[in-house]
């Protein structure tokens, strides 16, 4: 069964070219982001995550809440193994599918068919596995003969259709989402929403960052409230949202 465990996870980003002389104090707290500090008087560091301890179990649907810069997207990327923590341990049991940037790796000179194979391999499938899904992805995108043409000939909406169709063709054990994903024009949205809903239902664990309370209430069984990289609350959805709105 899928499970995620984080033990004292911290993540710092060094900001080069800015010194501590730029700040009046050694430690500055920003209301909508992480903490800034200068540990050696030369390099300023952003503390994006600060000693996060967390266990997410099979069946959990966790909504990440908090102000912009609170650490939600950063923590999702740590779970997806995009970022490596500065300190602490991350243990992830289960295959992760991260819908964070569905258009990653899109080469305008590649055809749609070529990108389907490339993106599938980037998502951990073998060439044979992604080719077996190619016909289904093509039907979902409704791009027809355009799949044999270079992506540079696509409109932005067509590019999103292609990327979304590939990203949601995988059946993950752990699904990571950053905000709601737009999938092209209005006529396509209903089908895209149904496909994403099935993906959520089929996943053993779902983690989604959103500023939309209705999405959190509809999908999630728990909320994680982050503030300046620290866990303020983890538990019941109604309780977590109420505490977040009250600021305590």
The predicted pLDDT at position 127 comes to 92
The predicted pLDDT at position 190 comes to 82
> Is 2:58 a contact under the CB 8 Å cutoff?
yes
> Is 49:79 a contact under the CB 8 Å cutoff?
no
The predicted pLDDT at position 148 comes to 96
- According to CATH, where is 3.40.50.300 located in the chain? 3-94+208-246, 99-203
The predicted pLDDT at position 26 comes to 42
Classify the C-alpha dihedral 29-34-37-42 as positive or negative: negative
Cα–Cα distance, 69 to 83 (Å, whole number): 16
Q: Which of 70, 50, 68, 60 has the alpha carbon at shortest distance from 176?
A: 60
The predicted pLDDT at position 171 comes to 83
Architecture of the 99-203 domain = 3-Layer(aba) Sandwich (3.40)
Which of 3.50.50.60, 3.30.450.40, 3.40.50.720, 3.40.50.300 would CATH assign to domain 3-94+208-246? 3.40.50.300
The predicted pLDDT at position 27 comes to 44
The residue written with tokens 């993540």 in the block is 11
Q: Over its length of 248 residues, how does the chain's per-residue pLDDT go in tens digits?
A: 899 999 999 999 887 665 555 554 444 444 345 555 555 556 677 889 999 999 999 999 999 999 988 999 999 999 999 899 999 999 999 988 888 877 778 899 999 999 999 988 888 889 999 999 999 999 999 999 999 999 999 998 899 889 889 988 888 899 999 876 666 566 777 888 888 888 999 999 999 998 889 989 999 999 999 999 999 999 999 999 999 999 87
Alpha-carbon Rg for the chain, nearest whole angstrom, is 20
The predicted pLDDT at position 57 comes to 96
Kind and range of the H or E run holding 193 = helix 186-202
Cα–Cα distance, 126 to 114 (Å, whole number): 14
pTM of the shown model: 0.81
């Amino acid at each position: 069964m899928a499970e995620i465990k984080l033990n004292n996870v911290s993540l710092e980003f060094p900001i080069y070219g800015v010194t501590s002389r730029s700040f009046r104090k050694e430690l500055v707290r920003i209301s909508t982001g992480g903490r800034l500090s200068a540990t050696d008087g030369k390099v300023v560091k952003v503390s994006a995550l600060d000693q996060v301890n967390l266990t997410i179990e099979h069946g959990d649907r966790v909504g990440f809440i908090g102000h912009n810069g609170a650490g939600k997207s950063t923590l999702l990327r740590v779970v997806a193994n995009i970022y490596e923590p500065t300190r602490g341990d991350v243990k992830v049991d289960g295959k992760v599918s991260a819908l964070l940037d569905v258009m990653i790796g899109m080469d305008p000179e590649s055809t749609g068919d070529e990108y389907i194979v490339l993106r599938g391999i980037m998502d951990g499938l073998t060439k044979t596995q992604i080719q077996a899904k190619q016909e289904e992805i093509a039907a979902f995108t409704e791009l027809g003969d355009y799949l044999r043409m270079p992506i540079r000939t696509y409109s932005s909406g067509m590019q999103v259709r292609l990327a979304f169709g590939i990203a949601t063709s995988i059946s993950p054990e752990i699904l990571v989402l950053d905000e709601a994903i737009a999938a092209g024009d209005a006529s396509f949205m209903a089908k895209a929403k149904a496909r994403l809903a099935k993906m959520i239902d089929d996943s053993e664990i779902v983690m989604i960052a959103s500023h939309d309370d209705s999405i959190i209430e509809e999908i999630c069984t728990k909320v994680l409230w982050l503030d300046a990289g620290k866990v303020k609350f983890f538990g019941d959805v109604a309780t977590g949202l109420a505490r977040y709105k009250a600021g305590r």
